[in-house]
Amino acid sequence: MLLVQDSKGTLRNVALKTIRGIFDQIRVYRFVRAGLALTVNAGSAVVLYLPDRYIPPRWWRPFEDVMTKLAVRSMSPQQARRSEELVRKSADAVHAALGNEADQYFYIEGLFTDPEYQGQGFGSALVNAVLDTADKAGRPTYLSAIEQNVPFYASFGFEVAARYTLGEEDPDWDLEPVLLRVMIRQRRSTEAWIDEKAALLG
């Protein structure tokens, strides 16, 4: 993950990427098993989301703890600082945006599209599917996005609610700081949802 990698390529980057790759594959499997992952075109694009008050299976927490310890052991001091910065600032920004009501929101944890299939509308279809589910449940939705992706999510009705920057506190980071945004989309009313679906059906 670029946000926590060393600014200069190192073997630790390779190790961390390998561990994260294994962790992410099992994480996707967990979401699929729980019915919280949607895909299109045989996995060419995937969205992971969490509904309100989701409780992960009991086996997940010990596994997550082990993978986290492995990742920490593989990190350079710079990677460890940036990882801590990411977790801390992300949590602070979400709290600033949502207060103590985060469990009232749907959360889009990740949207991934194979570069070969980008620009074909797969990601948009997946986001719309999650938002339809949130609207039916009467819940708003939030996510975190890098600055470059803000216009994409804004097209679905998301608005920026909090901002944070990574890298500006690390004197060893020689790339541009990474700008991130917490974005919120309020639920559509039942009437608006019905009207939109009726319009799509002609």
- 153-183 residue pLDDT tens: 999 999 999 999 988 877 777 778 889 999 9
Range of the domain at 186: 2-200
- 144-154 residue pLDDT tens: 999 999 999 99
Domain tally for the chain? 1
- Provide long-range contacts, Cβ within 8 A and 24+ apart, for 116-124: 116/44, 117/41, 117/44, 117/45, 122/40, 122/41, 122/44, 122/45, 123/45, 123/47, 123/152, 124/156
Most confident range, picked from 70-74, 106-110, 192-196: 106-110
- CATH number of the domain enclosing 20: 3.40.630.30
- The whole-chain average pLDDT of the chain stands at 82
Higher pLDDT, 139 or 75: 139
Instruction: Write the CA distances from 17 to 10, 103, 139, 171, 173, integer angstroms.
Output: 11, 30, 34, 23, 18
State residue 163 phi and psi, 5-degree precision. -130, 145
